[in-house]
Amino acid sequence: MKRMLSGIKPTGQLTLGNYIGAIKQFISYQEEYEMFIFIADLHALTLPIDAKELRKNTRDLISVYLACGLDPDKVVLFKQSDVHEHAELGYIMACNSYMGELSRMTQYKDKTSKISDHGSIPTGIFIYPALMAADILLYDANYIPVGIDQKQHVELTRDLAIRFNNHYSETFIVPEPITPKTGAKVASLSNPEKKMSKSESEKGTIYLLEDLNITRKKIMSSVTDCDNEIKYDTEHKPGISNLLTILSSLTGKSIESLVENYQNVGYGTFKKDVADAVCKELGELQAKVLEIQSSNKIEEILEEGAKKASYYARKKLSKVYRKVGLN
């Protein structure tokens, strides 16, 4: 069975973009692959974050993973910081990467362009892709399901794996990124030229655990053009195309069939259907999250997951230590 691995950082509240671009994919693959899904909490430290908030986000993220249907009997579900080999291989990967390639990462450029005016750039955000490479390479993962914004980091991981294999002999599997056919990039509702993100505007972002009356309002007042025609055209109609993407990935209906159904229907009716679909899905999700958080299963599941993950990580790291001459 081929192996698949992915993770999400517990920074900020989870969004509909995370759900459609990442989590929904994980669920659909868990029967087909040997899956490793983790909470990338070390990555959450790359930009300043309050300890209390990090703890809360971590708990929310594991609850959402479980509420969405990730099954701990089928998937190795764990927290990155519980498996110390991530940080150790991350250091070795940093030693094998170049400043030039790291500074070309789009996410690094985006995130630092926002902070450079009024502060120093933390080193963690710069070497982040080396840690991400370690996350992947420790487990011999073949496929990495991610949203489009993370594809470049997986490509860098491939380069680092190939470089290491060439230098020290075959050690790592070279992984491939997998992006969803629909929903690889869910856009902001208030600024559909931009990605919906934890760190973007409140108005444009749907949070998975927010009050659904607010969700409905955000969708009904989302930015669209004014020609009142429902058509998929990301260049000229980014707002409507984004709503079509959302509706398609939640209902499983193709964009073409949705466009056909909504011929001669006004934007108001269309938006209401999108809001109904989103609120239904999130309502069910939120109920399950509450149930999980009031049980005391979370600690047990993470402990079990860390044990399983450590088994693989330990073996791989000791192989790497041997090759580089550390033992």
- Residues belonging to the active site: 111, 195, 198
Q: How many CB atoms lie within 10 A of CB 174?
A: 14
Residue 190 binding result from ligand ADP, ligand TRP, none, given CB thresholds of 5 to 8 Å by partner type: none
Among 75, 146, 246, 301, binds ligand ADP (CB under 6 A): 146
Question: Residue 275, SS3?
Answer: helix
Residue 195 binding result from ligand TRP, ligand ADP, none, given CB thresholds of 5 to 8 Å by partner type: ligand ADP
Considering only residues 76-135, where is the footprint of ligand TRP by CB under 6 A?
Answer: 132, 135
Our CB check for ligand TRP shows the closer of 9 and 216 to be 9
- Nearest residue to ligand TRP on Cβ basis: 40
Among 4, 7, 68, 158, binds ligand TRP (CB under 6 A): 7
Element (H, E) at 3: strand 3-8
Task: Extract the tokens encoding 160.
Answer: 């680092």
**Does residue 178 contact residue 144 with C-beta atoms inside 8 Å?**
yes
Site map (CB under 6 A) of ligand TRP, residues 242-281, x = contact: ----------------------------------------
Task: Extract the tokens encoding 230.
Answer: 């429902």
Cα end-to-end span (Å), the chain? 31
Q: Least separation, in Å, of the C-beta of 98 and ligand ADP?
A: 23
Our CB check for ligand TRP shows the closer of 40 and 275 to be 40
Euclidean distance between CA atoms 222 and 134, whole angstroms: 39
Our CB check for ligand TRP shows the closer of 107 and 251 to be 107
Work out whether 150 is an interface residue with ligand ADP (CB under 6 A).
yes
Q: Least separation, in Å, of the C-beta of 205 and ligand ADP?
A: 8
Q: Write the burial class of residue 23 (CB in 10 Å: 0-12 exposed, 13-18 middle, 19+ buried).
A: buried
Question: Residue 188, SS3?
Answer: coil
Packing angle, helices 212-220 and 267-294, rounded to 10: 160
Residue 185 binding result from ligand ADP, ligand TRP, none, given CB thresholds of 5 to 8 Å by partner type: ligand ADP
Task: Extract the tokens encoding 198.
Answer: 């934890």
Question: Which residues contact residue 207 at a Cβ distance below 8 angstroms, ignoring those fewer than 6 apart?
Answer: 13, 14, 15, 16
Interface contacts to ligand ADP, rule CB under 6 A:
8-9, 15, 17-18, 20-22, 146-147, 149-150, 183-186, 195-199
Interface contacts to ligand TRP, rule CB under 6 A:
5-9, 40, 43, 132, 135-136, 144, 146, 150, 153
